């Protein structure tokens, strides 16, 4: 199987070049991709192409897919999927129901090397990067499971892994995800989240126009380094400078995520310092009360403390939202489902 070309890894120009090398006209590439991104994985079912060509595809190419190992559904409608890759490694995707659409939380790596203390994925370390096709395949695996009147419109790269540590595959996947010949998602509805790999933040914006979320989680380097070891390499000042260099389209904002941990980063003085740090940014702030799990030594703040933190930021004229924890009873926090299987 390894010598066969995985069509899920190819962009339209690359597939057109492949077709030319096989002596086929360029339009064959669009024909194949039309079926591919409808979720058809069997060349024989691509019925508008001549049988000899379908047979040639079967000899020379393949269409990779993920295998669903486990699914859990929460009372709030949140669904968590555990997918097996072709090498047996496992990744997670989380489907979040909104009022009239779905949002899918995608993984970009098997495990993660960032070591954030409040994240279960970090306990595994990094196993490997996902290929572009494996990122795209998470979407193709979930779409058939959705009701037709409730479409999947929003994507967030906030699952397992640090997306900017896998920038090449991420950008390739995003080009497939947002292209008219691919999955045709609106760039305005795709968000990439990072712990703050400063050199890669501007590069992401230069390569592809998607939304950016940066996880701050602290307002001083000492606390942030304790929670997020990557801060020792890229401290707050460098991260914020990189965010200023991010080519932000007009009428867009950078989202700054802040996981609230009881007694650690939830003090009113820290809220005021966060407001000061973000002065001058076109910013939106997402406050995320910690999603507790027995293996991790943190707890969410009391609700009154969360609302006080939010109000301070609102008084500083930031759009600030409290993101409720979703799917707690199905281990929907990143890395929990894989952790149970390890």
Instruction: Please list, in sequence order, all residues whose beta carbon lies within 8 angstroms of the beta carbon of residue 72, skipping any fewer than 6 positions away.
Output: 79, 80, 327, 330, 331, 332, 337
User: How far is it, in rounded angstroms, from Cα 304 to Cα 169?
Assistant: 42
SS3 category, 194: strand
pLDDT at 84 over 50: yes
Task: Please write the tens of the pLDDT for every residue from 169-213.
Answer: 999 999 999 999 999 999 999 999 999 999 999 999 999 999 999
To which residue do tokens 């009881």 refer? 262
Annotated catalytic residue, options 9, 16, 92, 134: 92
pLDDT at 144 over 80: yes
pLDDT at 123 over 90: no
334 flagged as catalytic: yes
DSSP string, 86-145: TTS-EEEEEEEE-SSSEEEE---EEE-SS--TT-SGGGG-EEEEPPHHHHHHHHHHHGGG
β-bridge mates for residue 107, sequence order: none
The predicted model scores a pTM of 0.92
How much is the mean pLDDT over the chain?
93
Domains within the chain, CATH numbers bracketed: 5-62 (1.10.150.530), 67-341 (3.20.20.70)
User: How far is it, in rounded angstroms, from Cα 86 to Cα 296?
Assistant: 31
Task: Please write the tens of the pLDDT for every residue from 295-320.
Answer: 899 999 999 999 999 999 999 999 99
pLDDT at 339 over 70: no
Confidence bin at 121 (pLDDT 50/70/90)? confident
pLDDT at 142 over 80: yes
Residue 60 and residue 43 in contact, taking contact as beta carbons nearer than 8 Å: no
Task: Please write the tens of the pLDDT for every residue from 67-82.
Answer: 999 999 988 889 999 9
Structure tokens at 102: 């779905």
């Amino acid at each position: 199987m390894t010598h066969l070309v995985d069509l899920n890894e190819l962009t339209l120009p690359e597939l057109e070049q492949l077709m030319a090398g096989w002596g086929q006209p360029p339009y064959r590439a669009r024909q194949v991709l039309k079926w591919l991104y409808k979720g058809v994985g069997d060349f024989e079912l691509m019925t508008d192409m001549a049988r000899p060509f379908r047979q040639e595809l079967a000899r020379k190419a393949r269409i990779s897919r993920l295998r669903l190992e486990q699914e859990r559904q929460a009372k709030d409608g949140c669904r968590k999927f555990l997918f097996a890759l072709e090498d047996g490694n496992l990744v997670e995707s989380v489907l979040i129901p909104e009022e009239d659409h779905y949002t899918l939380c995608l993984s970009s790596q098997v495990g993660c090397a960032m070591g954030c203390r409040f994240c279960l994925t970090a306990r595994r370390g990094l196993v490997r990067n996902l290929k572009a096709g494996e990122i795209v395949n998470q979407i193709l695996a979930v779409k058939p499971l959705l009701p037709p009147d409730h479409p999947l419109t929003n994507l967030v790269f906030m699952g397992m892994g640090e997306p900017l540590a896998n920038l090449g595959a991420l950008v390739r996947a995003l080009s497939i995800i947002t292209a008219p010949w691919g999955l045709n998602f609106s760039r305005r509805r795709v968000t990439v989240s990072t712990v703050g790999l400063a050199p890669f933040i501007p590069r992401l914006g230069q390569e592809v126009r998607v939304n950016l979320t940066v996880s701050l989680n602290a307002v001083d380097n000492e606390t942030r380094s304790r929670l997020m070891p990557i801060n020792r390499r890229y401290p707050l000042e460098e991260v914020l400078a990189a965010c200023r260099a991010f080519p932000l389209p007009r009428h867009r904002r950078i989202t700054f995520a802040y996981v609230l941990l009881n007694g650690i980063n939830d003090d009113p003085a820290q809220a005021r310092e966060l407001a000061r740090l973000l002065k001058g940014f076109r910013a939106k702030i997402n406050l995320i009360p910690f999603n507790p799990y027995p293996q991790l030594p943190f707890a969410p703040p009391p609700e009154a403390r969360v609302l006080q933190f939010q109000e301070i930021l609102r008084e500083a004229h930031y759009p600030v939202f409290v993101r409720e924890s979703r799917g707690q009873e199905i281990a929907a926090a990143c890395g929990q489902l894989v952790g149970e299987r390890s």
